[in-house]
């Protein structure tokens, strides 16, 4: 049986019409299986995010201490490689469930690249006369991190409000007119 509708939401919101079209396990078993896979991938994702944030801040510090393009080349390459692996694993959203082994492999390599990058930056810092711990900003909450990277959240929120009030209703109208929106 093909199941499809345009009220896109999580397949877990109606397991009887999604997973159980094919699977005979209980809803609880199916749901827990998804959560278990996501939790395992998130363990590595969370570690990778911490190291990625640190290495970006350390790289900035190295530039400030006078690091040259040539000195930074290897570190920048490693940071990009780590960042791409994070993007690939996290932006896909469903991958932690649909391809758990592959995504944990990618995240594992991302973590390795991020650690290599940190090591490389510390060598660059040493060449420029700095040894020790790079001072870390307080980014312990989302708000503090947003402030640190200079996001103007007031403007961001205002723009989002405007988008929701002006653009989205136009899209909905168009979809309804074209019979693409089921109104139940
Ligand atoms: C179109 C049919 C279909 C749908 C819909 C479907 N699956 Fe599957 N699922 C399969 C098939 C086929 C396999 C592979 C079975 C195998 O290789 O033994 C599988 C494998 C799995 C496995 C891996 C089992 C194992 O031993 O590794 C899990 C877990 C799973 N599905 C959960 C779900 C959940 C949760 C949903 C709903 C979100 C879902 N599936 C939706 C067909 C489906």
**For residue 40, how far is its CA from the centre of ligand 1 (angstroms)?**
18
Indicate the burial class of 126 (C-beta count within 10 angstroms; 0-12, 13-18, 19 or more): exposed
Of ligand 1's listed atoms, the one at least distance from the Cα of 33 is 29
The best mutation among 4, 15, 16, 22 to test binding of ligand 1, ranked by most ligand atoms within 8 Å of the C-beta, falls on: 22
CA-based radius of gyration for the chain: 22
The position carrying tokens 């005979």 is 24
Q: How confident is residue 10, by pLDDT bands cut at 50, 70 and 90? A: confident
Residues near 42 by Cβ (< 8 Å), separated by ≥ 6? 96
Q: Tell me the pLDDT tens digit for each residue of 126-170.
A: 999 999 999 999 999 999 999 999 999 999 999 999 999 999 999
**For residue 110, how far is its CA from the centre of ligand 1 (angstroms)?**
27
Distances (CA, A) of 144 to 11, 54, 59, 148, 152: 34, 15, 20, 6, 12
**For residue 86, how far is its CA from the centre of ligand 1 (angstroms)?**
25
In Å, the largest CA–CA distance within the chain is 67
Whole-number pLDDT of residue 17:
84
The position carrying tokens 């590595």 is 44
Whole-number pLDDT of residue 181:
76
Angstrom distance (rounded) from CA 161 to CA 138: 29
Q: Which residues line ligand 1 (CB under 6 A)?
A: 11, 18-19, 21-23, 30, 33-34
**For residue 97, how far is its CA from the centre of ligand 1 (angstroms)?**
10
Nearest to 42, CA basis, from 103, 128, 117? 103
**For residue 49, how far is its CA from the centre of ligand 1 (angstroms)?**
29
Residue nearest atom 37 in ligand 1 by C-alpha distance: 19
Residues near 30 by Cβ (< 8 Å), separated by ≥ 6? 15, 19, 20, 23
Distances (CA, A) of 142 to 21, 103, 147, 149, 153: 40, 25, 9, 11, 11
Indicate the burial class of 38 (C-beta count within 10 angstroms; 0-12, 13-18, 19 or more): middle
Structure-token pair, residue 155: 């403007």
Structure-token pair, residue 88: 């690939």
Q: Tell me the pLDDT tens digit for each residue of 30-47.
A: 999 999 999 999 999 999
Does the pLDDT value for residue 179 go beyond 90?
no
Given a contact cutoff of 8 angstroms between Cβ atoms, the answer to whether 59 and 90 are in contact is no
Whole-number pLDDT of residue 18:
84
Q: Is the dihedral of CA 23, 25, 28, 32 positive or negative?
A: negative
């Amino acid at each position: 049986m093909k199941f499809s509708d345009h009220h896109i939401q999580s397949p877990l919101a109606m397991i009887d019409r999604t997973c159980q079209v094919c699977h005979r396990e209980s809803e609880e078993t199916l749901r827990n299986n998804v959560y278990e896979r996501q939790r395992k991938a998130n363990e590595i994702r969370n570690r990778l995010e911490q190291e990625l944030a640190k290495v970006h801040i350390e790289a900035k510090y190295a530039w400030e201490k006078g690091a040259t393009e040539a000195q930074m080349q290897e570190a920048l390459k490693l940071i990009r490689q780590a960042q791409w692996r994070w993007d690939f694993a996290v932006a896909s959203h469903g991958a932690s469930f649909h391809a758990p082994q592959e995504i944990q492999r990618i995240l594992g390599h991302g973590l390795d690249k991020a650690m290599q990058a940190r090591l490389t930056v510390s060598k660059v810092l040493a060449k420029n006369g700095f040894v020790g711990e790079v001072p870390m900003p307080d980014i312990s909450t989302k708000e503090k991190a947003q402030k640190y990277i200079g996001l103007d959240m007031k403007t961001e929120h205002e723009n989002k409000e405007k988008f929701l009030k002006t653009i989205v209703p136009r899209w909905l109208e168009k979809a309804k007119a074209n019979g693409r929106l089921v109104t139940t």
